Structure formats: structure tokens, C-alpha cells
């Protein structure tokens, strides 16, 4: 299924931590609203709780995204579930989901792809191994690209499991290994921020046989800029401008 992302005749839209422009990031409501909007892929982040449960959360602490304080790894599952991960526009309270809860939600969406980010941490390889096993148990691996800012994790997933990986420009990665057999040789795709997005960088990755994706084109102008440079996977905090542009293009083809 992931191979379809090589299709440059169209473009694909990923919800960055769900629909985080309007809903609490990395929560089930944010993922559901992104799915309702019509995204092709969901990007999400994983870390272990103290009792080694895979939790969908970006930061290494709960400080920014919940009403708690402290490292994610210092809280058990039950303790993390007692925290508020935000309130949606309807005033509903939400919690940090587990990977299994995410997987259960996605059972109803067999065509939606996953961009699975393993956050840098001392136990990142254990997180990666447990994540891959869980996704395998759900038969979701054909839908996944695995992402990390840690080049060691990109290499681990590529070398040990033979799965597709997304990295980033070398200067943004931890443990980056230059050279023909280095980190870039392990990457199927590269995520480029809108700040770094340029013709030269896209061409560099193209010459290496690496797909160029971007984050986060959240306005009509940013979507146009990304598409003009040949980007065909857009990871968006707000997917609506990209979805509107795709609808416009389809309508023009029909007419």
C-alpha cells in the first residue's frame, strides 16, 4: 500500500498528529477529525510509559500537552490516563491514547496510511521493536512508514526489519552518518520543513533516490509552494487547504 506514495501524478495529505490545528494533538479526536476531513495518512509519535505501554505523545514530558508535569517515562499507563490531554472545541476532555487504541480506531479505515514516528530516547530501539510487533499483529505494517530524527533508529528499522523509513536533512538528525553507505542510504523518504524547503534540497534527495515530503504546509500559499517544488506528500497541522487544492485540481480535470 505504501508504494502508492511514489505516484507523482497526484499528492497525498497526512494529518500531523491528527488535525492538530483545531483539536488536541495526538488524541483520538484529532485523528478522527483528520480522517473525517479525508486525509490519506496519519502521522503520530510514540513513547513508552513507565510500565512499557506504547503511548501516542510527542514530547518526552507531559508538561506542554497535558495538565501534568514530568517525564512520560516516569508515569504508568493509569497515571497517564488520569491526565487531561486537552479539550476539544465542543468542551470534551481527552486523554493520551495508547497505540492499541489508535490501531482499534483505524480498523474502520483500511486505506489510510501511517507515518509512525519513534521519538529519540534511551529506549528508542525497544519502542521501535514493540511498535513494529503491535502493528504486525494488526496486519498494519504494509500501511507504514517509520520515522525518526535519530539516525540510529532509522538504520535499525531499515537493517533489522527491512521496513520503509523516513529521515530528515542530515543537519537535523542525531547520530547522522554521512557517505554513500550512511544514513541517507537507509531512507526511503525525507521530511523537509517549510523553512528548509528548496529546489536544491528536493533535487539532492531525488538524485539519491529518496522521496521528498514536507511539513507543515498549512496555508494555501504554502501548499502551492510545496506542489510547485514537486512535493507529493504534505504533512499538515491543518489539512483543509491541501484538501481544497486537491479537490480543485480534480474538478479542473473533470471539466
3-56 confidence digits (pLDDT tens): 999 998 899 999 999 999 999 999 999 999 999 999 999 999 999 999 999 999
Mean pLDDT to the nearest integer, 57-64? 98
Name the H helices within 151-207: 151-156, 199-207
How many angstroms separate the CA atoms of 56 and 20, rounded?
Answer: 13
Neighbour tally for 85: CB within 10 Å: 25
- Active-site residues: which are they? 16, 58
Residues ≥6 apart with Cβ < 8 Å to 194: 214, 215, 216, 217, 222, 225, 226
Q: Is the pLDDT of residue 166 over 80?
A: yes
% of the chain at pLDDT higher than 90: 96
Domains, in order of start, for the chain: 2-254 (3.20.20.190)
pLDDT of residue 9: 86
Please give the Cα distance from 49 to 53 (Å, whole number).
5
Task: State whether the Cα torsion 148-29-221-232 is positive or negative.
Answer: positive
Q: Using the predicted structure, report yes or no on whether residue 255 has a pLDDT greater than 80.
A: no
Average pLDDT for the chain: 97
3-state DSSP helix/strand/coil % of the chain, to nearest 5: 40, 20, 40
Positions of E strands within 64-164: 113-118, 144-147
pTM of the model: 0.97
Nearest to 231 by CA among 194, 195, 176, 187: 194
Produce one character per residue of 226-238: b if its CB has 16 or more CB atoms within 10 Å, e if not: bbebebbbbbbbb
Q: Give the residue from 33, 7, 9 showing the smallest Cα distance to 19.
A: 33
Q: Say if strands 41-48 and 113-118 run parallel, antiparallel, or are unpaired.
A: parallel
So what's the pLDDT on residue 108?
96
CB 96 within 8 Å of CB 66: yes
Q: Give the tens place of pLDDT for each residue, 195-241.
A: 999 999 999 999 999 999 999 999 999 999 999 999 999 999 999 99
Amino acid at each position: 500500500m505504501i508504494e502508492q506514495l511514489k505516484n507523482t501524478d497526484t499528492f497525498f495529505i497526512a494529518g500531523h498528529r491528527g488535525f492538530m490545528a483545531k483539536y488536541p494533538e495526538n488524541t483520538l479526536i484529532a485523528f478522527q477529525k483528520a480522517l473525517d476531513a479525508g486525509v490519506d495518512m496519519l502521522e503520530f509519535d510514540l513513547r513508552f510509559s513507565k510500565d512499557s505501554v506504547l503511548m501516542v505523545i510527542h514530547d518526552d514530558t507531559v508538561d506542554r500537552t497535558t495538565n501534568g508535569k514530568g517525564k512520560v517515562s516516569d508515569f504508568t499507563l493509569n497515571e497517564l490516563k488520569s491526565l487531561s490531554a486537552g479539550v476539544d472545541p465542543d468542551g470534551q476532555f481527552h486523554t493520551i491514547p495508547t497505540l492499541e487504541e489508535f490501531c482499534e480506531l483505524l480498523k474502520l479505515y483500511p486505506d489510510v496510511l501511517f507515518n509512525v514516528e519513534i521519538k529519540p530516547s534511551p529506549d528508542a530501539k525497544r519502542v521501535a521493536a514493540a511498535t513494529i510487533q503491535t502493528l504486525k499483529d494488526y496486519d498494519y505494517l504494509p500501511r507504514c512508514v517509520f520515522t525518526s530524527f535519530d539516525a540510529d533508529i532509522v538504520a535499525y528499522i531499515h537493517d533489522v526489519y527491512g521496513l520503509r523509513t523516513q529521515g530528515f536533512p542530515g543537519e537535523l538528525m542525531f547520530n547522522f552518518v554521512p557517505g554513500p553507505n550512511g544514513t541517507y542510504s537507509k531512507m526511503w523518504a525525507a521530511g523537509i520543513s517549510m523553512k528548509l524547503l528548496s529546489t536544491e534540497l528536493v533535487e539532492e534527495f531525488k538524485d539519491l533516490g529518496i522521496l521528498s515530503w514536507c511539513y507543515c504546509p498549512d496555508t494555501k500559499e504554502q501548499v502551492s509552494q510545496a506542489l510547485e517544488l514537486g512535493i507529493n506528500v504534505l504533512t499538515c497541522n491543518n489539512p483543509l487547504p491541501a484538501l481544497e487544492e486537491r479537490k480543485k485540481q480534480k474538478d479542473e480535470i473533470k471539466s
